[in-house]
C-alpha cells in the first residue's frame, strides 16, 4: 500500500437510515477502485463491510466498518455506519473522525426518520456533508420529491449537482449540472459514456445549473462579485466555492446513484477527491484545555482512539485517527489519560475483516493497532513531552435498563468478564452491580441494541443469561413527628448489655426549625449517598447518656436507613433527635447503644406516618406530527404528566414526567407504535409519593418476604 501525505487522505462516513443502501454503495466504490473483482450483496452475506455474523443474520449493519480505497492519487477512508438510532454510538464515533459525511437518501422513501436523527449529529459536529439519492432504479423512486424533502428538512443550501433523466427500472442516465454533461451507463454500470445534454433536458439543466451557481456564490463574497460581473462561474471556481462552503457547513451538494447497479459511484469518488476536504483543511482539533492541535505532519505525533474491536485469537484492536505528526510501526506513545507508554508494534489498515500491515501513517489518516496494554476509547496518545488530550466523544445516555443474570450457577464471573468486554467495545453499554437492588443492571440504547448485546453474550461468550425487569429503587420517608423509647437489655452470664434510648423522628426539609421543647447541644448533617439528608441532633441533658455512645446510636440509625421498615428501601429526609435515655456503669457499651438506636428509630419511623416514594423520570419524545396522538395516549396510559410540547426541526417534542415503574419496555413499545419513526430520552427528575394502594401492596409483599426468610 502506498504512503499518503495529509493532503491526499480523505475520510468519509456513509450515513443514512437503515436500508438506504450504504453498504451496497460501499461495495460499488470498492469495485470501481479495483479493490474487489466482484460486488458483494447483503442478501448473499458477502459484503466487505457487513462481515460480522450478527450482521449477516440481521442483514443490516450493526457496527461501523472501516474500509479504504486508492482513487486517482488519493486514499479514501470509508466508515460504513449502521442506520438505526439504537447503534448511535457507532455513528457518533465515526463522525468524530470523519471529515465528510455522505448522507444517503432512499429515493422510494424520501427523508426518513433516521436521516433526520443523523443530521442532528452532523450538524452538532459541523461535518461537511453531501447527499446521495440512491435506489433511483426502483419502480417507485421519486427524485423530485426526495430533493424537495431534503431542502425542506435541511435547508435551501441542499443543492442538486445531478439529477436523473428518468427513474425506475430503466434508470441509466444522470445529468451533471456542474459539468453540464450527461453520463449514460451500460446495463452493468461502471464507467459511463459522456454525452451532450438532450434538448428535452436543457431547460431543466440550465435552471439547476443557475441555482447551483447562485447557491455557491451566495456563500462566497469573492465569487458573488465574479458572478455579478460575468454572469457565470467556471467549473473550477464552482468546485473551489463548494469546497470552501462545505468546510463551513454552508452548502450541501446532492448527487444521484444506483448503488445496486453500480451507476454513479465513480463520479462520487471523483467529487470526494477533488472537492471534499482533507483532514488538514478542517478546523484544528480542540484539546480539553481549550488549545488547538493543527493536523500537521510536522507536528508532534498524536493519535486518538475512537473505536475498539475485540476479536477471538487476535485480542483488542484499537482504531485510531492520526491528528498530528507521523506514526510508524514501533513508535512509542504516551497515553495522556493513563500515563502508560504504549508501543505500536503493528500499524494496520482495515478492509472489513481483512488486515493489511503498513509502515507509517500521516496526520489525517485512519488505521488500527493491536494489543495496547492500557488504552481505551476516547484516549489520546502522543509522543513523550507533548501532553495533549483531545476532547472526548460524548456518547448518548442509555434509555433502557434490564436486570441480567446467568442461568447456570457458577457463570457469574464469566458474565462479569463478558460485560466488561462489551463495555470496552461499545461505550454506550453500561452495567452496574446494584447493592441496593441486589441485581446486575445492564443499560443500553434500545431494543435492537439489547438484541445485539444478547447475541454477543450467547454466541461469542457462550453464556446463557436471563433478562428481567429491574427492581425499582424506592425511597422511604415520614410525614409527621413521632417519639419512641427502646430499652435493650441482655444478660447471659458475665458482662451483659444495657442501653436505653429515647428519640424523636421528624420529616426533614430545608427550612425546618429546631425541635420544640428540646435543647440542641450537637448537630450532624449527613448528605446521603442515595439522595436526601439525615440530620442527627444531640439533645441529651444531664448526662443521661454519655456523649461517647452517640456515634453508636447514629450507626444504628444509619443501618436501619439502609433497610427501611416499609419495603427495605433506603430512607431519606429524616431528622433524629436523641433527647433522653439510660446507661449502666458496667453493661453499657457501643453495641448495646447501636442496637437500641436502631430499634428506637424503627419504632418511631413506623408511627410517623411513613410514606413510600418512587423515582419520577423526565421523558422527552421526538415524533412526527401524525404520531403525536398515539404517543400522548401511550404516555398517559403510563400515568405520565404531560408538561408541554414544542417543535424541534421536523419533529414534535413531547415533555412528560413518568414513574420509572411504568417505563419498562417503553423503547420497544414506542418503536412498534410509530414504526420506528420516534425516539426518546429520559433522565431522573425527582421522587414522589406512590399511591396508597401501591404502597400497601409493596409493604405487604416485603413483610411476607421477611417472614419467609425468618422461617426458611
DSSP string of 266-278?
HHHHHHHHHTSPP
Residues 388-407, mean pLDDT to the nearest whole number? 94
Residue 508 clears pLDDT 90, i.e. is over it: yes
- Residue 56 near residue 64 (C-beta atoms within 8 A): no
C-alpha torsion sign, points 419, 420, 421, 427: positive
How far is C-alpha 377 from the geometric centre of its chain's CA atoms?
A: 13
Quote the strand ranges of 649-701, DSSP E: 651-659, 679-689
pLDDT band at 494 (very low <50, low <70, confident <90, very high): low
Residues 2-25, mean pLDDT to the nearest whole number? 93
pLDDT band at 47 (very low <50, low <70, confident <90, very high): very high
The whole-number pLDDT of residue 707 equals 64
Residues 94-114, mean pLDDT to the nearest whole number? 94
Residues 138-157, mean pLDDT to the nearest whole number? 95
Fold of the 12-281 domain? Rossmann fold (3.40.50)
Residue 629 clears pLDDT 90, i.e. is over it: yes
For every residue of 334-394, DSSP letters joined together read EETTT--EEE---EEEEETTEEEEESEEETT-EEEEE--SS--TT-EEE-TT----BPPP-
**CA neighbor of 263 nearest in space, from 330, 202, 342, 184:** 184
- pLDDT, averaged across the chain: 93
Longest dimension (CA), the chain: 114
CA distance 178 to 256: 13
- Residue 615 near residue 473 (C-beta atoms within 8 A): yes
Domain 401-468 has CATH 3.30.70.870: yes
Residue 709 clears pLDDT 70, i.e. is over it: no
Residues 47-58, mean pLDDT to the nearest whole number? 91
Cβ atoms within 10 Å of 404's Cβ, excluding its own: 21
pLDDT band at 227 (very low <50, low <70, confident <90, very high): confident
Fold of the 295-382 domain? Elongation Factor Tu (Ef-tu); domain 3 (2.40.30)
Measured CA angle at 307 (ends 302, 308), to 5 deg: 110
Spell out the CATH class of 612-693.
alpha beta
pLDDT band at 317 (very low <50, low <70, confident <90, very high): very high
Residues 43-61, mean pLDDT to the nearest whole number? 91
- Residue 117 near residue 85 (C-beta atoms within 8 A): yes
Residues 444-464, mean pLDDT to the nearest whole number? 94
- Residue 544 near residue 499 (C-beta atoms within 8 A): no
Residue 496 clears pLDDT 90, i.e. is over it: no
Q: Do domains 401-468 and 612-693 have the same CATH topology?
A: yes
- Residue 40 near residue 49 (C-beta atoms within 8 A): no
Residue ranges of the domains in the chain?
A: 12-281, 295-382, 401-468, 476-608, 612-693
**CA neighbor of 379 nearest in space, from 368, 365, 390:** 390
Reported as a single tens digit per residue, the pLDDT across 595-607 is 999 999 999 999 9
The whole-number pLDDT of residue 712 equals 44
For every residue of 286-313, DSSP letters joined together read EBTTS-EE---TTS--EEEEEEEEEETT
- Residue 583 near residue 499 (C-beta atoms within 8 A): yes
- Residue 113 near residue 18 (C-beta atoms within 8 A): no
The whole-number pLDDT of residue 259 equals 96
Fold of the 476-608 domain? Ribosomal Protein S5; domain 2 (3.30.230)
Residues 268-273, mean pLDDT to the nearest whole number? 95
The whole-number pLDDT of residue 106 equals 96
Residues 691-699, mean pLDDT to the nearest whole number? 93
pLDDT band at 579 (very low <50, low <70, confident <90, very high): very high
Q: Say what percent of the chain tops pLDDT 70.
A: 99
Reported as a single tens digit per residue, the pLDDT across 107-133 is 999 998 789 889 989 998 999 999 999
- Residue 296 near residue 6 (C-beta atoms within 8 A): yes
Amino acid at each position: 500500500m502506498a504512503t499518503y501525505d495529509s493532503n491526499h487522505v480523505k475520510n468519509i462516513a456513509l450515513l443514512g437510515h437503515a436500508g438506504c443502501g450504504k453498504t451496497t454503495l460501499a461495495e460499488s466504490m470498492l469495485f470501481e477502485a479495483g479493490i474487489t473483482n466482484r460486488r458483494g450483496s447483503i442478501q448473499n452475506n458477502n459484503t466487505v463491510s457487513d462481515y460480522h455474523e450478527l450482521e449477516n443474520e440481521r442483514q443490516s449493519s450493526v457496527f461501523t466498518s472501516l474500509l479504504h480505497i486508492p482513487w486517482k492519487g488519493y486514499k479514501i477512508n470509508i466508515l460504513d455506519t449502521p442506520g438505526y438510532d439504537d447503534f448511535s454510538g457507532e455513528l457518533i464515533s465515526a463522525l468524530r473522525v470523519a471529515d465528510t459525511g455522505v448522507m444517503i437518501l432512499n429515493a422510494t422513501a424520501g427523508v426518513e426518520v433516521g436521516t433526520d436523527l443523523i443530521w442532528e449529529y452532523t450538524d452538532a459536529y459541523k461535518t461537511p456533508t453531501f447527499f446521495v439519492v440512491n435506489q433511483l432504479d426502483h419502480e417507485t423512486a421519486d427524485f423530485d420529491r426526495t430533493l424537495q424533502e431534503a431542502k425542506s428538512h435541511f435547508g435551501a443550501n441542499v443543492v442538486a449537482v445531478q439529477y436523473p433523466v428518468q427513474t425506475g427500472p430503466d434508470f441509466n442516465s444522470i445529468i451533471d449540472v456542474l459539468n453540464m454533461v450527461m453520463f449514460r451507463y451500460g446495463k452493468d454500470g461502471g464507467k459511463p459514456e459522456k454525452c451532450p445534454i438532450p434538448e428535452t433536458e436543457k431547460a431543466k439543466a440550465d435552471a439547476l445549473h443557475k441555482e447551483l451557481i447562485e447557491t455557491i456564490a451566495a456563500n462566497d463574497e469573492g465569487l458573488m462579485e465574479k458572478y455579478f460581473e460575468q454572469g457565470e462561474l467556471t467549473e473550477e471556481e464552482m468546485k473551489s466555492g463548494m469546497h470552501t462552503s462545505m468546510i463551513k457547513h454552508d452548502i450541501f451538494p446532492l448527487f444521484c446513484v444506483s448503488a445496486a447497479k453500480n451507476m454513479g459511484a465513480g463520479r462520487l469518488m471523483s467529487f470526494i477527491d477533488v472537492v471534499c476536504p482533507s483532514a488538514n483543511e478542517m478546523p484544528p482539533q480542540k484539546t480539553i484545555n481549550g488549545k488547538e492541535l493543527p493536523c500537521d505532519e510536522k507536528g508532534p505525533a498524536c493519535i486518538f482512539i475512537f473505536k475498539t474491536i475485540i476479536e477471538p485469537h487476535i485480542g483488542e484492536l484499537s482504531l485510531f485517527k492520526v491528528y498530528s505528526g507521523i506514526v510508524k510501526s514501533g513508535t512509542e506513545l504516551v497515553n495522556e489519560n493513563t500515563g502508560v507508554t504504549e508501543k505500536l508494534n503493528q500499524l494496520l489498515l482495515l478492509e472489513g475483516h481483512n488486515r493489511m500491515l503498513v509502515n507509517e501513517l500521516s496526520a489525517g489518516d485512519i488505521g488500527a493497532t493491536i494489543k495496547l496494554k492500557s488504552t481505551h476509547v476516547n484516549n489520546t496518545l502522543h509522543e513523550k513531552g507533548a501532553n495533549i488530550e483531545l476532547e472526548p466523544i460524548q456518547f448518548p445516555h442509555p434509555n433502557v435498563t434490564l436486570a441480567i443474570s446467568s442461568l447456570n450457577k457458577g457463570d457469574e464471573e464469566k458474565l462479569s468478564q463478558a460485560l466488561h468486554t462489551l463495555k470496552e467495545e461499545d461505550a454506550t453499554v453500561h452495567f452496574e452491580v446494584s447493592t441496593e437492588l441486589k441485581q446486575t443492571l445492564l443499560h443500553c440504547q434500545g431494543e435492537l441494541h439489547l438484541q445485539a448485546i444478547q447475541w454477543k453474550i450467547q454466541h461469542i461468550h457462550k453464556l446463557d443469561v436471563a433478562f428481567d425487569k429491574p427492581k425499582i429503587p424506592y425511597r422511604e420517608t415520614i410525614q409527621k413527628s413521632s417519639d419512641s423509647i427502646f430499652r435493650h437489655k441482655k444478660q447471659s452470664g458475665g458482662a451483659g448489655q444495657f442501653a436505653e434510648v429515647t428519640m424523636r423522628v421528624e420529616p426533614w426539609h430545608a427550612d425546618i426549625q429546631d425541635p420544640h421543647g428540646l435543647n440542641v447541644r450537637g448537630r450532624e448533617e449527613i448528605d446521603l449517598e442515595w439522595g436526601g439528608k439525615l440530620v442527627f441532633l444531640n439533645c441529651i441533658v444531664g448526662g443521661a447518656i454519655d456523649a461517647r455512645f452517640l456515634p453508636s446510636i447514629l450507626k444504628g440509625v444509619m443501618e436501619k436507613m439502609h433497610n427501611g421498615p416499609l419495603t427495605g428501601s433506603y430512607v431519606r429526609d429524616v431528622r433524629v433527635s436523641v433527647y433522653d435515655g439510660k446507661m449502666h456503669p458496667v453493661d453499657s457499651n457501643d453495641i448495646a447503644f447501636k442496637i437500641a438506636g436502631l430499634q428506637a428509630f424503627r419504632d418511631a419511623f413506623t408511627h410517623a406516618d411513613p410514606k413510600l416514594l418512587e423515582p419520577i423520570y423526565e421523558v422527552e419524545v421526538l415524533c412526527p406530527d401524525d404520531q403525536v396522538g398515539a404517543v400522548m395516549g401511550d404516555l398517559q396510559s403510563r400515568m405520565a404528566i404531560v408538561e408541554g410540547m414544542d417543535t424541534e426541526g421536523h419533529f414534535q417534542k413531547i415533555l412528560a414526567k413518568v414513574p420509572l415503574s411504568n417505563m419498562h419496555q417503553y423503547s420497544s413499545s414506542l418503536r412498534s407504535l410509530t414504526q420506528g419513526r420516534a425516539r426518546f430520552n429520559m433522565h431522573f427528575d425527582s421522587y414522589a409519593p406512590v399511591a396508597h394502594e401501591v404502597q400497601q401492596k409493596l409493604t405487604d409483599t416485603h413483610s411476607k418476604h421477611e417472614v419467609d426468610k425468618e422461617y426458611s
